Amino acid sequence: MKYKRILLKLSGESLMGDKQYGIDNERVKQYAEDIKAVHDKGLEIAIVIGGGNIFRGLSAEKSGMDRAQADYMGMLATVINSMALQDALEKVGIKTRLLTAIKMEQICEPFIRRRAVRHLEKGRVVIFGAGTGNPYFTTDSAAALRAIEIKADVVLKGTRVDGIYTADPEKDPLATKYDEISFREVYDKGLNVMDMTAFTLCEENQVPIIVFDMNKHGNFMKIANGEPIGTLVK
């Protein structure tokens, strides 16, 4: 295995599968099976999930809602997604812990860095919910922050596309894929990888990012084995 400890970032939209809204149980089940296969190889896995399949703070702000209020609602959406993935992981036999940046004692533990690291060392998959616990920060920023805090070797951003392209491949048929790109090139070319706060955090702390298609069964394992799947930013 190329890595020892990884931070997997999943978008809330990825949990929708082919639905227009909410959670597709079959997609979550597929993710759980892929995560189990990698976990069984001895890797330590932490996960951050977005909430866009349930509620998007930025969209609500545009329709007139207070931004901070909307962002807190989005954080609660990420906890719903985290609970769904936690359930799926435990159904395939993985011990998990859900830690959130907002206290919800009945369903999860509060985020404490040393506790999170200890759970990973004990072989549990750790899911971080509720973003950073602060409005105005995305779950990409939460993923970058948690990766740095737990000293993850890499941030794996699972998306619907198989890497970073010169343009949006869903809109531009001539877009070409990068196999590897530097942080500086991403800035210079104005490519959309993560929001700028998250991206800068990873660059400053020398945490590489791999953008890949999580929906393709087996891709997660290939990356864990060091195969050149997706696009590496370093």
Q: Tell me: is residue 139 an annotated ligand-binding position.
A: yes
Q: Tell me: is residue 96 an annotated ligand-binding position.
A: no
**The one-letter amino acid at 169:** P
Radius of gyration of the chain (CA): 17
Q: Tell me: is residue 133 an annotated ligand-binding position.
A: yes
Q: Tell me: is residue 230 an annotated ligand-binding position.
A: no
Tell me the C-alpha to C-alpha distance, in Å, between residue 74 and each of 5, 63, 186.
Answer: 27, 15, 28
Q: Tell me: is residue 56 an annotated ligand-binding position.
A: yes
Q: Tell me: is residue 3 an annotated ligand-binding position.
A: no
Q: Are 15 and 23 in contact (CB under 8 A)?
A: yes
Q: Tell me: is residue 50 an annotated ligand-binding position.
A: no
Q: Tell me: is residue 12 an annotated ligand-binding position.
A: yes
Q: Tell me: is residue 168 an annotated ligand-binding position.
A: yes
Q: For residue 37, with 0-12 CB atoms within 10 Å meaning exposed, 13-18 middle and 19 or more buried, which class applies?
A: middle
Q: Tell me: is residue 188 an annotated ligand-binding position.
A: no
Alpha-carbon span 210 to 158, nearest angstrom = 8
Q: Tell me: is residue 226 an annotated ligand-binding position.
A: no
- In SS3 terms, 53-98 reads as CCCCHHHHHHCCCCHHHHHHHHHHHHHHHHHHHHHHHHHCCCCEEE
Q: Tell me: is residue 11 an annotated ligand-binding position.
A: yes
Q: Tell me: is residue 31 an annotated ligand-binding position.
A: no
| Tokens linked to 189 | 């070319």
- Give strand pairing partners of 158: 10, 212
Q: Which positions make up the binding site for ATP?
A: 9-12, 52, 56, 159, 165, 168
Q: Which positions make up the binding site?
A: 9-12, 51-52, 56, 71, 132-139, 159, 165, 168
Q: Which positions make up the binding site for UMP?
A: 51, 71, 132-139
